[in-house]
Amino acid sequence: MPFDALNTPLSLGDVQLGHRVLMASLTRNRSVPADFANDLNNEYYTQRAKGGVGLILSEGTLISAQGSEWPNVASLYTEKHAAAWKKVVDSVHAQDSTPIFAQLWHVGRVAHPDMPLGGGRPVAAPSPIAARGGKFRLLNDSPYVAPVEAHPDPWKLVDEYRQAAKLAKAAGFDGAEIHAGNGYLQVQFLDVNSNHRVDDWGGDVHGRTKFFKESLKAVLETFPASRVGIKINPCGGYNDVGMNEKDTIETYTEVVKFATDLGLAYIQMTRYLGFMDPEFDGKKRCETQLDVLATFGDLIRKGTKTKLLYNGDLSAAEADKLVQEDKIDAAVFGRPWINNPDFAKRVFKGLPLNEDIGMVADFKTWYAYENDPREGYTDYPAYEEIKKN
């Protein structure tokens, strides 16, 4: 059988996985007409549960009604949102008890107050510093806006994580993951370039990691550490973040040690990806392009209960080799799950994949659609469907 190392069980905290091929959080912007999980989302996730996924990490769920680039993401900040998600979660669980975690997401300064969810609310950020280089594809190419002011009370943002965790539990999710990557709010507090605060929430590494630590502790009031994970990408210029090597290592060592000392189920770590790193003045934004696995891998795994999930344009062959070499515990795949609802089954049976969608430059069906929201979402066939036809 191909990829034997990936095809072995894994205990992720107290959640048992049948194998190590996992599904990444994928924003698809299909919760139409508002921001509630719907029947189409249900079909999409159920297809992938039937396709043999080891664990589903939900798309990023917005934990507040702050403005967003995405008007139709399935959010999680009211009881109605939780009730909508529960239908999806129950359907996923009905497929061989497939586990699913909720990814808790706050975009911070890369939100936009003019999006429907925002309703004119000011953009939340640690400091009044706009991200460079961004355009809001769904707002007629409006540029990023500078936050009006540093958020006056980060404890209120921590409370949003606390509430979202309670709602995730009510929806039946098996656990929760804090999205602390890709230049979103958590990273904006961690990064010396986006956090210029002079109070307890900024300054040295202890101040800049305070928001992350308090958010994590808030989530742990609802879920045990054995059912909580975090996502980090220490090296990546996406959304105009990225520090020098010294600050990067110091900051993420503090993040990792705090998480592992608490006994989190996992840390999902994304490696540096050049195509996710924008250019400014002819240079890549990311100041440090470390081998994150070599730098932080042992810190995460050696002598801890915490598992390392690895993400970043991996092939199945590369992922299997890394598991076999005992460098990672499981692999998180993104794009292959978009156009292969049965990706895990195809991997383990050695079946060909549907044509690679690559990086869809115009995001025609990745984040949007022209006429039918099913297009590029639930209309990719499983291998068995292809055989029948």
CATH number, domain of 228, equals 3.20.20.70
> What pLDDT does 361 receive?
40
Please tell me the predicted confidence (pLDDT) of residue 169: 99
Is residue 288, in this structure, part of any structural domain at all?
yes
Q: d(Cα 37, Cα 74) in Å, to the nearest integer?
A: 5
Phi, psi (degrees; rounded to nearest 5) at 374: -75, -20
Lookup: tokens for 351? 């079946």
pLDDT means per 10 residues, the chain with 389 residues, are 92 98 96 92 99 98 82 92 99 98 94 70 88 65 66 96 99 99 96 96 99 99 99 89 95 99 98 73 80 97 98 96 98 96 97 73 66 90 85
β-strand pairing of 266-270 with 228-232: parallel
Cα distance between residue 230 and residue 306, in whole Å: 11
**151 in a domain, yes or no?**
yes
Q: What is the DSSP code string of 42-62? A: HHHHHHHHHTT-S-EEEEEEE
Check if the beta carbon of residue 274 is closer than 8 Å to that of residue 284: yes
Q: What are phi and psi of 135, to 5 degrees?
A: -130, 140
Look at residue 137 in the predicted model and tell me its pLDDT.
56
Q: Does 1 map to a domain?
A: no
Which residues, listed in sequence order, are joined to residue 177 by a DSSP beta bridge? 103, 229
The total number of structural domains in the chain stands at 1
Beta bridge partners of 56: 23, 100
Cβ of 170: how many Cβ atoms within 10 Å? 16
Q: What is the pLDDT of residue 122?
A: 79
- Model pLDDT, residue 381: 94
Question: Is residue 4 in some structural domain?
Answer: no
Check: CB of residue 204 under 8 Å from CB of residue 195.
no
> Is 225 within a domain?
yes
Q: Which of 58, 42, 46 is CA-nearest to residue 94?
A: 46
Q: Model pTM? A: 0.94
Domain that holds residue 170: 10-388
**What CA–CA distance (Å, rounded) separates 99 from 350?**
24
**Rounded to whole angstroms, how far apart are CA atoms 62 and 70?**
10
**C-alpha span between 206 and 344 (Å, rounded):** 41
CA dist., res. 19 & res. 317, Å (int): 15
pLDDT of residue 362: 43
| Cβ atoms 173, 219 nearer than 8 A | no
Rounded Cα distance between 121 and 123, Å, is 6
**Angstrom distance (rounded) from CA 252 to CA 240:** 17
Residue 385 Cα to chain centre, angstroms = 30
Nearest alpha-carbon partner for 156 in 79, 63, 80, 67 = 63
Q: Three-state SS string across 89-126, please?
A: HHHHHCCCCCCEEEEEECCHHHCCCCCCCCCCCCCCCC
Residue 385: what pLDDT? 85
